[in-house]
Structure 1
Amino acid sequence: MKKLHILLFFIFFLNTMVWCRQKPAIDVIPYPSSVTLMNGTFIISSGTALNVPQDLVGEADFLNELIKNAIGSKLQLSRRNNNVIKLIKNKSLKSEEYRLNVSKNLIILSGGSSAGVFRGIQTLRQLFSEKAEIPGHLLPSLSLRCLNIEDLPSFEYRGLHLDVSRHFFSVDFLKKYVDMLALYKFNKLHLHLTDDQGWRIEIKKYPKLTENGAWRTLNNQDSACIAKAADNPDMALDSRFLRKKDGQQQYGGYYTQKQMIDFVKYATTRHIEIIPEIDMPGHMMAAIKSYPFLSCTGDSHWGKLFTTPICPCKESTYEFAQNVFKEIFAIFPSKYIHIGGDEVDRTSWETSGVCNELMRKEGIKTSAGLQSYFINRMEKFFNANGKKLIGWDEILEEGISSTAMVMYWRTWVPEAPLKALKNGNRVIMTPGEPLYFDYPPNKNSLYNVYNFSVIPKGYPDKDRGNIVGAQANLWSEMIPSEKRAEYMAFPRAIALAENLWSHEHRNFKSFSKRLLTQYARLDVLGVNYRLPDLENVITDRVFINQDTLFYKNPINNMVLRYTDNESRPSAKSLSLDKPLIIKENKLIKLGVFSKTDTNLRELYVLNFKKQTIMNSVSKPNVSSGLLGSYYKKLPLRSDGADLTKPDSLFYTDMISVPPSINSPAFRIDYTGIIDVPEAGIYTFYLDCDDSGILSIGDNVVVDNGGMHSAIEKNGQVALEKGMHPFKLVFLEGGGGYKLKLLYSFKNSEPAELPQLWLKH
């Protein structure tokens, strides 16, 4: 009997250890590679010591500041081995790899380098209560569960991007942004410092770049932001960056070299590499307006899509570019420098005599070849100065050396990464969908970012290692304030952080639960994050007798307030703290507020409609699948009446765009019958880029029309069992598309329409 008890205890112990490895109770993001929980706790108090070697003093100082903020005093340095936190470099580990062992009397944090130790400190930090982050709120001690963690990143390049040209951000905000990157184990910040709308970095040899080029009269993007500010204060232009000159209001600002050197040093102590981008040969209007000799025509203006670029055919252009980059090299120690190279309107080159002469001399056949000539020549200059060039994927056109790094962004050019890999280039993935964080977030954004495949399926094994990681971009045309920037970046950036660090062992359900615990820390850190989505919000709701409106708050820092008179909810509107019964047609505007301010953070417009069940129709001799009518161009009229004859027809048993369709802009009508097996209210979810409108019978069920990035909208319809006319009109305006239609019935999980339901 005793042996049986011992055996049962041993089995229980093994099962407990397995459970700890699979479902450890730590709320850390990114989630570590391996976690083993153990019994006991380690208490950090004023009597605890720090044991660190000389080459980890900077990391120890960072940890000590966290502890001082929590308990009111720093830990003393000591060589003892009891009641101590020990930081160690372990050269057998990879650079950013770390091991964290917490026992009752000792914490040992070892890393493959100082960066690895610092990443481990961020895990330790998240194991502290968020109350440890509150300034002036002293705790008697910090308690840590005993555990073992072994951890390392999946990708070497884990980045965020910030456009400071379209709208400007203070140095203090840049530091706060870096702090957030460090907390979630990013290691790169790509700063987009120049563009048509403003030059943001001091260049001493060319002072007009900031005297003139850093300022502009208000443009159409500023006006759009001002209009939106009437409903959302975060859309207002930052008054610190407005000035009056010659009777005109101007917007602008720039960083001095001293400020930027200080910022780079700040980021370096947090092991964040700052990669500057000076975008050329396109996106240079601010520079050309200051120094007109830079273009082939002596000026710069907007063309059909982009502005006049600098002239790659004049030696004075290269003298300017090299002088600028020499100063950039001195400010930024990063081995990578971004040259842009995207969205170039080459019209002025094609009509330039000096360019025609250069093309004859160098055997260049096209204006695209001129761009390749410029990029390759600049890369040689970079390399001669110990730097490596990064460019957007357009630099692949007409050839680039294998030593340049390519940043893939154009989702409508899916062959670009493979082309770069075949050329021997290393690739950073940053596709517009889902990694352009200036695209408005929705309830699917976190899932899409979290489950984004950094290495696309089917890529050859021999090339996969040259995809070094990914980056999310925050373009600021419609981001005029620091609060708006934080709202757009977080929590999507947190989802990306775990994707890139913990790629091989991702679990979105686990991440979602851990994310809920992170919001309290973000509150303490003063981050204006997007509040969590309410679950299963149906915007066009149908009921037969009555409906009920009520949602449970995902986190404590949320209040729901509503109006039923078409006015916008305010902090004084009625609170949705109990179920609201709906018995008649009604429009409800449901506002999401944070308890920390009175601003409306999120607005749901809910249209309740009382409806009788739609009668089914009789259709003899139906066949499986819907009829697809494909038009190679978009209609000129809003009703599409000018598209009288489709270019081709096809039959399909699923809602998807056939792979044979390669027109940049097109329309597809999916028509036929939907045959539902049971009477009741059906919910449909239409996620599309660009426009999609779903109709069943005479009812428009989901209107997701207009040219926009991927957005999901939903709606309901009450259907009798049987067949009903079905039509889905999808329009793609160019730049990559998405089309996905799901349904739900009786609160089931959204799923694709069964093939048996689709007929014609």
Structure 2
Amino acid sequence: MKSLLSLLLLIACSFAALAQQKAPTAQPALIPYPASLVPQAGSFTITGSTKLVLAKEAAVFQKEAEQLQELLANGIGKKLATTKKPSNNSMLLQYDKTITAPEGYLLTVTPAQVTLAAKEPAGMFRAIQTLRQLLPPTIEKKQPQQLVLPALQIKDQPAFDWRGMHLDVSRHFFSTDYLRKYIDLLALYKFNKLHLHLTDDQGWRIEIKKYPKLTEEGAWRTFNNHDSVVIAKSKENPDFALEEKHLVQRNGKILYGGFYTQAEMKEIISYAASKHIEIIPEIDMPGHMMAAINAYPILACDEKTGWGKDFSIPVCPCNESTFTFAEAVLTEIADLFPSQYIHIGADEVEKTTWTQSAACKELMQKEGLKNVNELQSYFVHRIEKFLQSKNKKVIGWDEMLDGGVAPSAVVMYWRSWEADAPLKAARNGNQIIMTPVNTLYFDALPDKNSLEKVYNFQVIPDGLNTAEAKLVLGAQANLWTEYIPSENRAEYLYMPRMTALAEVVWTNRKDYDSYQARLKEHYKRLTALDVHYRVPDLTGFSEESVFVDQATLQVQKPLDNLTIRYTTDGSLPGSTSPVLDKPLPITQTATIKLAAFTPEGLKGDTYTINYKKQNYAAPAKATATQAGLQATYVAGSFKSADDIAKTAGTKNTVTVKTVQVPPQAKADKFGVQFRGYLAIPETGIYTFYLTCDDGGILRIADRMVVDNDGLHSAIEKSGQVALQKGLQPIALDFIEGGGGYTLKLTYSKDGSTPQEIPESWLKQ
């Protein structure tokens, strides 16, 4: 009997061990997630005795093999021995002609061998980046460590050909060392395009040998209005400080600037190419050319320089000398950059000087041009034809569509308020790159919703049929640097949003919960790479909080390793401020500032919570007989929502059934005042969440609830108010400063999930 029991116990243990061996492992923390991943049992350990197999037919992957060797040497301290014959305990780089996608690859890990297969070097490089993410984050540093890979099978290829990031080096300059770091991050997350914005009003950043004054003069400036803003902000946040390496003294003046020599840029192009990243240069024209015009005033109509009504005075498209200049510059750019694309901007052109120029009037009559938009198209057509002679494709911002553009040009869609621009471009036969300002401008301040908004971005816009959808090359995010003077500030703004976009353009399948879980592991890798990422948002509170008797501040941490520090005296939390490690009771009016710190000392956003003791507001003594709110629309330019009431402009009042901008609001800049009542169904403390682009102020029961005022990108702010059941007056003032708007109002009660305000609540 004892023997039988022992046998049964042995069988049970064997089955348990087998079940444990075959149990699915945790989802690998890969971003972007592969098209197909199947976990397997076991793992493979890379040791000093592991061999790297590179057969004769795989010699095309020699450069990628060298990069793999450098990566692994970080952990095992030496390069792997190489051989041409597969064996156990080996890593095999394999040529596979059956893989059709240029960046496609196969990655197979078994306990005996690792196989990376591709047809093209780009595919092999992407496979290595996947393997890199499967290894511990400490692989990014040179230190002895065990390198273990989980057994799995991956079959992968990108969803879109254009997976891009942009960097504006004109407004604020970034060194060649930083460009390499930026390229390394793009490579890690499988981006393949880097759009470098090299010239603008504020600085010319690339050497042009025929026109040396472009960099001798155009690359340097005394502090401008953007610099003044960041210098002021740097008093509280050192990331806003101008970097000293870009400051020089000349003739008793401090100048800001810098530029890349052509030799330096060749090295950067070569470095990016080794990571299978194509650098696309942008030389903005005919507008955004003040740095060039200041150096060579002859480029402007009647040699006028400076600012017009909205933008800088552009080059003159009516003088042949302008085309002589442009063609000479673009010849050097075309010779320097191997990319098939050259971006010429063609956006935000101040055309006033064109309407006043005798030369332009003469040219327009000669060419049969009806307006200055067509004159811009004339300029773009000529530049495109010239670049085609250099075997280059033109890319421009979607303003190119306004006066007509050739189907051969590539349109970069950014004006999100021009919702039909992608459809217009597609119907004209243009290829399209999606980069709308309301989602993919990473210089816009992030909030707790920004990451999810990027992750849920739809690359193929609605309204395109199957054939038109094929014209969408992909998407990219832009980083405009007017208010980004440092590398740390840049990383805060694009990371981790870059990782969300990476998955959108590579995998194109939405699983935000999975992505969030995987992202938590990537913060460790970003730390190892010295990336100054934005620490995830703290939650569980409102900026404006109220209580009737008492409240409890109980902050929710997104990462377990964060330390929350706080102050109650109005000062900013620092590394020595008290730790908030348990619920904090609130019994009186108070202002609390708090921030999260990583173990490495990286500081997250500072949150200010204003606690107010408040009685429940009594309902209004009014009778509301009509559904909806009154929305009063006023065209005009407003810097603050409170300014709407001060205007003497024409006002148009309509009824809206939800909190939304009425369709009558068609001006580029306007304000809207919403008035009426909320039919509050039960007494309690309500939290309201107001998202605005540009600004808004919410008052309920004549109490300030949310102040989200000013001209800014879409940001959510929240506030609380204590309300009795019944009709409560609501006053919401909203302003749009131009360039597309966002207005959203939701609510929650007693910590519930935020939801839309029911139509039945809105009364007047």
TM range, smaller chain: over 0.9
Amino acid at match of 1:553: K
- Contact kept in structure 1, 2:535 and 2:603, CA below 8 Å: no
Find the partner of 2:113 among 106, 109, 113: 106
Aligned residue in 2 for 1:495: 500
2:628 maps to 1:625: yes
The Cα shift of 1:244 comes to: 1.2
Aligned residue in 2 for 1:551: 555
Structure 2 vs 1, CA of residues 214 and 487 (structure 1 numbering), >3 Å: closer, same or farther?
Answer: same
2:296 maps to 1:294: no
Aligned residue in 1 for 2:618: 615
Aligned residue in 1 for 2:66: 61
Find the partner of 1:656 among 642, 654, 660: 660
Aligned residue in 1 for 2:248: 243
- Contact kept in structure 2, 1:450 and 1:495, CA below 8 Å: yes
Structure 2 vs 1, CA of residues 556 and 133 (structure 1 numbering), >3 Å: closer, same or farther?
Answer: farther
Amino acid at match of 2:568: D
Aligned residue in 2 for 1:303: 308
The Cα shift of 1:628 comes to: 2.5
Aligned residue in 2 for 1:368: 373
- Contact kept in structure 2, 1:161 and 1:190, CA below 8 Å: yes
Find the partner of 2:459 among 454, 457, 462: 454
SS in 2 for 1:446: helix
The Cα shift of 1:659 comes to: 4.2
Structure 2 vs 1, CA of residues 100 and 636 (structure 1 numbering), >3 Å: closer, same or farther?
Answer: closer
The 2-side partners of 1:398 and 1:15 are apart by 66
2:265 maps to 1:260: yes
Note the alpha carbon deviations across 1:579-630, whole angstroms, 9 max, x for none: 2211100001112333324x75411010011112222345446333223233
SS in 2 for 1:595: coil
The 1-side partners of 2:557 and 2:114 are apart by 37
- Contact kept in structure 2, 1:635 and 1:641, CA below 8 Å: no
Aligned residue in 2 for 1:76: 81
Find the partner of 2:522 among 506, 518, 522: 518
SS in 1 for 2:209: coil
Superposed, 1:21-60 pairs within 5 Å as 25-52=27-54, 53-60=58-65
The 2-side partners of 1:613 and 1:161 are apart by 50
Aligned residue in 2 for 1:378: 383
SS in 2 for 1:124: helix
The Cα shift of 1:644 comes to: 7.1
Note the alpha carbon deviations across 1:543-581, whole angstroms, 9 max, x for none: 122222232433355332211111222222212122221
TM-score (norm 1): 0.94
The Cα shift of 1:90 comes to: 2.6
SS in 1 for 2:606: strand
Structure 2 vs 1, CA of residues 54 and 112 (structure 1 numbering), >3 Å: closer, same or farther?
Answer: closer
The Cα shift of 1:646 comes to: 6.8
The 2-side partners of 1:582 and 1:699 are apart by 21
The 1-side partners of 2:345 and 2:652 are apart by 40
Find the partner of 1:358 among 363, 380, 386: 363
2:97 maps to 1:91: yes
SS in 2 for 1:640: helix
Amino acid at match of 2:159: S
Superposed, 1:328-407 pairs within 5 Å as 328-407=333-412
Amino acid at match of 1:244: Q
Aligned residue in 1 for 2:763: 759
SS in 1 for 2:302: coil
The 1-side partners of 2:31 and 2:638 are apart by 47
SS in 2 for 1:74: coil
Amino acid at match of 1:100: L
The 1-side partners of 2:271 and 2:278 are apart by 10
Give structure 1 stretches of 5+ with no counterpart: 1-8
Structure 2 vs 1, CA of residues 644 and 292 (structure 1 numbering), >3 Å: closer, same or farther?
Answer: closer
SS in 2 for 1:264: helix
The Cα shift of 1:120 comes to: 1.4
2:151 maps to 1:146: yes
Amino acid at match of 2:334: F
The Cα shift of 1:422 comes to: 0.8
Superposed, 1:582-621 pairs within 5 Å as 582-597=586-601, 600-620=603-623
- Contact kept in structure 2, 1:683 and 1:744, CA below 8 Å: yes
SS in 1 for 2:452: helix
Amino acid at match of 1:714: S
SS in 2 for 1:189: strand
The aligned length equals 745
Superposed, 1:643-722 pairs within 5 Å as 647-659=651-663, 661-722=665-726
The 2-side partners of 1:143 and 1:649 are apart by 67
Bigger mean CA deviation after superposition, 260-269 or 657-666: 657-666
2:140 maps to 1:133: yes
Note the alpha carbon deviations across 1:380-424, whole angstroms, 9 max, x for none: 111111110000111112211101000111122222111111100
Bigger mean CA deviation after superposition, 219-228 or 555-564: 555-564
Amino acid at match of 1:121: I
Amino acid at match of 1:155: F
Amino acid at match of 2:659: I
Aligned residue in 2 for 1:4: none
- Contact kept in structure 2, 1:669 and 1:729, CA below 8 Å: yes
2:122 maps to 1:115: yes
The 2-side partners of 1:283 and 1:617 are apart by 54
SS in 1 for 2:338: coil
Work out the percentage of aligned pairs sharing the same amino acid: 50
Structure 2 vs 1, CA of residues 328 and 727 (structure 1 numbering), >3 Å: closer, same or farther?
Answer: same
Aligned residue in 2 for 1:579: 583
The 2-side partners of 1:640 and 1:317 are apart by 44
SS in 1 for 2:692: strand
The 1-side partners of 2:39 and 2:624 are apart by 64
Aligned residue in 2 for 1:508: 512
- Contact kept in structure 2, 1:429 and 1:469, CA below 8 Å: yes
SS in 2 for 1:323: helix
Bigger mean CA deviation after superposition, 361-370 or 214-223: 361-370
The 1-side partners of 2:68 and 2:654 are apart by 63
- Contact kept in structure 2, 1:691 and 1:705, CA below 8 Å: yes
SS in 1 for 2:353: helix
2:733 maps to 1:729: yes
- Contact kept in structure 1, 2:53 and 2:83, CA below 8 Å: yes
2:196 maps to 1:194: no
The 2-side partners of 1:289 and 1:114 are apart by 45
Note the alpha carbon deviations across 1:627-657, whole angstroms, 9 max, x for none: 3233334569945344579744433332122
Find the partner of 2:169 among 160, 164, 173: 164
Note the alpha carbon deviations across 1:12-58, whole angstroms, 9 max, x for none: x99999x96xx961111011111111111111111111122210011
Find the partner of 1:531 among 527, 535, 539: 535
Structure 2 vs 1, CA of residues 729 and 14 (structure 1 numbering), >3 Å: closer, same or farther?
Answer: farther
The 2-side partners of 1:594 and 1:334 are apart by 40
Structure 2 vs 1, CA of residues 690 and 578 (structure 1 numbering), >3 Å: closer, same or farther?
Answer: same
Find the partner of 2:568 among 555, 561, 564: 564
Note the alpha carbon deviations across 1:312-355, whole angstroms, 9 max, x for none: 11222111111111111121110011111111111222222222
The 1-side partners of 2:625 and 2:21 are apart by 57
The 1-side partners of 2:77 and 2:643 are apart by 68
2:256 maps to 1:283: no
Note the alpha carbon deviations across 1:133-156, whole angstroms, 9 max, x for none: 222x211x3111111111221111
Aligned residue in 1 for 2:9: none
Bigger mean CA deviation after superposition, 634-643 or 250-259: 634-643
- Contact kept in structure 2, 1:593 and 1:602, CA below 8 Å: no
SS in 1 for 2:326: helix
Aligned residue in 1 for 2:326: 321
The 2-side partners of 1:200 and 1:392 are apart by 20
SS in 2 for 1:110: strand
Amino acid at match of 2:45: I
The 1-side partners of 2:364 and 2:696 are apart by 46
The 1-side partners of 2:341 and 2:637 are apart by 42
The 1-side partners of 2:657 and 2:415 are apart by 30
